Amino acid sequence: MTPTTNPPQALEFQCECGAIHGVVRESFPPNGRRLVCHCNDCQAFAHYLDREKQILDDHAGTHVYQMDSSKFTISKGQDKLACVTVTGGPLLRWYCATCKTPIANTLSSTRFPFLSLILSAFDQGKTDAMLGSAVEHVAIPSGAGDPGKVKTAGMAGMLWQLLVRVIKARFNPELKKSPLFDDATGKPLAEPIKLERSERLAIDEKADIYREVLAEAQ
């Protein structure tokens, strides 16, 4: 019997204004994880961009794909990349500076060779075909309404998976590649924007109201 090889599949990324182009290449079966995060910080990012309607689902969840950063490349528009930290912490949330299409979340250095791709800008049919449609939920109590009986992601399993990625990348520098960081210096390609406390408070107030609206609609 000849072994079957599965070439990587490709998923195109393009921001709304067309400035940033990229592609995700994933092997089959995919080794990333589809998550829906309902946490307040992910919601804050959606509101910061004024794109909550596109990004957040009916339960205020953000759909992401946690993956190896080296499998995402950006072919055009690196100079339009922007990133923000909504907490002042090391988690960077990336987007197009011109049209505010969200791209991905990362930690602040390529020592952590993974990213959470934000799926709202991707074609949903193609995303499901390539990455599978099974999702696990995180931080449900921070979301809106009751999503019912859904699968939740265990923190221990997720941390383990991230640790394995960090260790593998120590021995294989190729894995440290990220389209959002400078290869040579390992620094982010855009200076992270930090929100003032007053800005974050205003965003949280907006998020509160939005969650009430979502819950009301259920």
For Zn ion, the binding residues in 42-81 under the rule CB under 5 A are 42
Q: Is 17 in the site for Zn ion (CB under 5 A)?
A: yes
Least distance from Zn ion to the Cβ atom of residue 105, Å: 8
Minimal distance, residue 21 CB to Zn ion, in Å: 10
Q: Which of 23, 25, 27, 39 binds Zn ion (CB under 5 A)?
A: 39
Q: Which residue has the tokens 């991230």?
A: 162
Shortest distance, CB of residue 139 to Zn ion, whole angstroms? 6
- Check residue 96 for interaction with Zn ion (CB under 5 A): yes
- For the bound state, the minimum distance from the C-beta of residue 184 to Zn ion, rounded and expressed in Å, comes to 26
How many residues belong to the site for Zn ion (CB under 5 A)? Answer: 9
Q: For residues 110 and 120, what is the distance between their CA atoms, to the nearest angstrom?
A: 24
Q: How distant, in Å, are the alpha carbons of 40, 111, 205 from that of 142?
A: 6, 29, 14
Is 140 a binding residue for Zn ion by CB under 5 A? The answer is no
> Quick check: 98 binds Zn ion (CB under 5 A)?
yes
Residue number with CB closer to Zn ion (40 or 169): 40
As measured in angstroms, the least distance from the Cβ of 193 to Zn ion is 16
Which is nearer to Zn ion, 98 or 108 (by Cβ)? 98
Minimum CB distance to Zn ion, residue 128 (Å): 21
Helix (H) or strand (E) holding 206: helix 197-216
The C-alpha atoms of residue 122 and residue 189 are separated, in whole angstroms, by: 22
DSSP line for 82-149: EEEESSSSS-EEEEETTT--EEEEE-SSTTS-EEEEEGGGS-HHHHHHHH-S--EEE-GGGSSS---S
The helix/strand/coil state of 80 is helix
Pairing of the two strands 81-85 and 193-194: parallel
* 37 vs 130 by CB, closer to Zn ion: 37
Cα–Cα distance between 43 and 28 in angstroms, integer? 31
- 92 counts as binding Zn ion under rule CB under 5 A: no
Given the rule CB under 5 A, which residues bind Zn ion?
A: 15, 17, 19, 37, 39, 42, 96, 98-99
